[in-house]
Amino acid sequence: MAHTTQQQNIEQELTGSNSIIRFSAINVNSLEANKRKLDMEEFVKNNQIDIALISETKLHSEHKLSFNDYNLIRTDRPNAKNGGGTAILINKKLSFTPISYPNSLSNKVIEYTAIRLKVNSKKSLIIFSIYAACNSNRSLIAELDKIYHDFRLDKPDIYFIMAGDWNARHTKWGDSKINDYGAMLNRWEVKNSITHKCTLYNPNRPTYPSAGSYLDHCLPDTRIEIKELSSNGLLKTLPYDSHHNAIYFTIDTNKTFMGLASSPPPTIRYNYKRTNWRKFAEDLLYNHKNQIPSDKNLTISEIDSHILNLEKEITTTIIKIVPKVEADTKKGCLKYVNNTIKKLQAMKSKLISEKFRATNQEEKYRLNQLIKEINKKLTKEFQKSETAYWTAKTKSINYRDSAKFFPRINRFFRYREPPRVDNLTISKDSPLLTDEIINDPETSKIDGKHLITHSTAKLNIIGKYFESINSPRYSNIGTMTKTIADNAANDIKKHNLTHTTFNRSNRAYYPVQNENEPKFLHSYIEVEILLKKTKNKTSSGTQQGTVTSPILFIIYCRNVLNLFLMNSGNNTHYGAYADDTAIYVAHTKIPVIEKRLTSLVNQIYEYLEQWNLKMNAFKSETILFRKTVNEITPPTVLLIKTFQIKITDKDTGLETIIPNK
C-alpha cells in the first residue's frame, strides 16, 4: 500500500505544479577524481537540479560512476587519453530513453550525449548535452546541421533542447571579442532560427571568468518557453568549482507536453538467503484457502485460474515474509565521505559562493588560493578514506567461511557490467520487423536497413527470431508424432469423449481407467518415477532470476549439507549462493584432496539425479589452492598438473571431467 501511495505521489508531482524541470549546463573539467564527483553530487542537490548537461567529463571506459538519486548517461571521447566527453545526469524520478544512435563518435568538433524524455503527449522531447571541441577544424556548422538531419528535428512533433560549452564568443552576446565558432554560430542562428524553429539563449555573465568569455549557451526549440531567466532575459549563471560557471534555466512541461510520464517504481530486491522458510511455508499454507478439487474434471479456464491464484498467494507471501535488501544510500564517492571531508567540502562551497559574488580582483585571487588549498586537502583525505574503506572490506572476507568467501570477493572486487543488448541492423524485408517497430521514432533507416535502438523492440526481435528456430522443434511441426497426436485429439473433440470422470470414488490423485484401454492416466507418484527413468526427456526448467528458481533450489539442495557430513569439523565444507554450489576440501596432500572431492561430487551428483536434476559439469570448475611453484617439489608439481575431478554416471558409465581453473 505504501509503495502504491509513493508512486501516486510521484505521478501527481510530475503532472501537477512540480512539473517544472530545472536544467543546468556545466563544463566540469573532469569527473575522474572523487572530489570532482562530490562537487557534482553537492551541486545538483543544493540547486535542486533535475537534469545536468555536462561537458568535458574526461572519462574513459574504465571509469565507473554512480550517483545516489540520479542516472548518468555519458559519451566518452573515443581514442583520447585526456579531454572531451559529455554526459547527462538526470533525476531518477524522470523517465527517459538514452539515444545511442545517431551519435557524435565520428565528429571532429561537436560531441554530444542525447536522451529522449518521456512526456504524456505524443510529442517527442530530445535533450542534448553539447561540447564543441576547441580546435582549428571548421566543421561546426556542418555537424550541427547533421544533428538536425539525423534526429529529424524539423518534424513538427519533435522538440529539443541543446545546451553546453560551445566555445563560441561574440560581442553580440556580451563578450569582448568574436572567435570563429562565435561568428559561425551567430550566422547560423540568424539564417535558420525560423526554419529550424530555434532560439539561442546566452548567459548573463561570463561562464569562463578568467578570460571574461561567454562560452556556454542554450539552443532550445522556439516553441519551448525558457523560464527563470535574469531580469534582462538572459540565462542565469551558478558558481561551480571548475574553470567554468554553470548556466541555469527551467521549463514547464505542462504547457507543451501535458506533463511528464512517471518513471517505473524502483525495483525491490529480496534477500532470500535470510528468509525464514519454515515461517514462509506456514504462512503460505495458512493463506492458501482455494483448494483444488480432486473429485471433478476441471476446465482449462479453471486450471488457469487455480495457477494464477497460487502464483498470487506465493507472491503475497514473498512480499510479507522475505526480507528486503536495503537500498544503497552511499553510492559512488559518497561511501568514502567522512566528517573531515564533509567539513572541507562545506568550507569550499562557502568560498566558491564568496568568489562568485566578489568584484575585487585581489579578493577573488585570495579566495581562489584558499579553494586550491582545500582541494589539496580533499585529495589527501579521499586517498586516506579510500584506503581505509577497501582495507576494511578486505578484512571482512573470512577465508574460513566457504559459503561467503567467493561471493564476497566477487561482490567487492569484480565489477558487474550492467546488462545490455547491442543495436540491431535488420533488413527492411525481414519478417522480424513489425509496423510498430518500423514506425518507432527511435528506429533509423541506414542504407536500406533499419537500425533498432529501442530496448523493447530489440528484445521483441530477438524473441521472434528464437521463436522461429525453436517453435518447430518443441511443437513437432511436420513430424509423425504430431500427426498422430493431432488426429487423436481431433477425434476426442469430434466425439466429445471423456476418458474418465473424477468424483469422490475416483479422485484425481489416484485415477482409475478402463483396463481395456491403453494406460494414459497416472498418479503423481507414477509420473515422478517415469520422469526419473526417462533418459531422453527435455525439461524447460525454471527461468533464472525468477522467484521460483531459488525456492526450488533450496527445497532440493537443503539436505546435501547433512547427508554427507560436511561443515562438521572434518575439513569438508559446503556452501550455496543463489543457484551456485561450492564444495571445499582441505588437506596437506593433493591425492587425498582429489579422492575426497571426487567422492563428494559424485555423491551429490547421484543425489540430484534422484530428484531428476542435472549437475552442469561444463559450467563447473575446480580450483586447487597451493603454494607458489618455488615452494613445492617437482613430484608435487606433477600431482598438480594431473589433478582432476571425474563425474561418473552409474547408469551409462559415462565420465565427465570438471575443468580446472
pLDDT at 412 over 50: yes
Question: Measuring CA to CA, which residue among 371, 324, 323, 325 is closest to residue 347?
Answer: 371
pLDDT at 527 over 90: no
The band of 434, judged by pLDDT with boundaries at 50, 70 and 90, is: confident
Looking at residues 180-193, what average pLDDT do you find? Answer: 94
Question: Measuring CA to CA, which residue among 358, 454, 561 is closest to residue 99?
Answer: 454
pLDDT at 502 over 60: yes
Q: Which residue matches cell numbers 556452501? A: 575
Dihedral angle, C-alpha 19, 24, 25, 27, nearest 10 °: -150
The band of 4, judged by pLDDT with boundaries at 50, 70 and 90, is: very low
User: What is the overall mean pLDDT for the chain?
Assistant: 85
pLDDT at 17 over 70: no
pLDDT for the residue 11: 47
Structure confidence by residue, pLDDT tens digits, 243-268: 999 999 999 999 899 999 887 788 88
pLDDT for the residue 444: 78
Residue 60 identity: H
Task: State the Cα angle at 78 between 73 and 84, rounded to 5°.
Answer: 70
Pairing of strands 124-132, 158-165: parallel
Structure confidence by residue, pLDDT tens digits, 385-394: 999 999 999 9
Looking at residues 227-239, what average pLDDT do you find? Answer: 95
pLDDT for the residue 1: 37
Q: Reduce the DSSP state of residue 321 to 3 states and report it.
A: helix
pLDDT for the residue 548: 57
Structure confidence by residue, pLDDT tens digits, 539-560: 444 555 555 566 666 666 667 7
Q: Give percent above pLDDT 70 in the chain.
A: 87
How many Å apart are CA 560 and CA 55, to the nearest integer? 56
pLDDT for the residue 12: 47
The band of 514, judged by pLDDT with boundaries at 50, 70 and 90, is: low
pLDDT for the residue 2: 40
Chain centroid to CA 651: how far? 44
The predicted model scores a pTM of 0.70
**Cell numbers for 76:** 566518452
C-alpha Rg value of the chain to the nearest Å: 33
pLDDT for the residue 531: 67
Question: Measuring CA to CA, which residue among 488, 547, 499, 542 is closest to residue 521?
Answer: 499
Three-state helix/strand/coil letters over 604-659: HHHHHHHCCCCCCHHHCCECCCCCCHHHCCHHHHHHHHHCCEEEECCCCCCEEEEC
pLDDT at 400 over 50: yes
Looking at residues 189-213, what average pLDDT do you find? Answer: 94
Higher pLDDT, 362 or 525: 362
- Return the minimum-mean-pLDDT range out of 209-218, 312-321, 417-426: 417-426
Structure confidence by residue, pLDDT tens digits, 39-91: 999 999 999 999 999 999 999 888 889 998 999 999 999 876 668 999 999 99
**316-330, 458-472, 610-624: which has the highest mean pLDDT?**
316-330
pLDDT for the residue 288: 84
Higher pLDDT, 636 or 342: 342
Higher pLDDT, 127 or 327: 127
CA distances from 118 to 54, 103, 122, 420, 511 (A): 20, 20, 9, 20, 56
Order of strands across the sheet that contains 110-117? 96-99, 110-117, 124-132, 158-165, 216-220
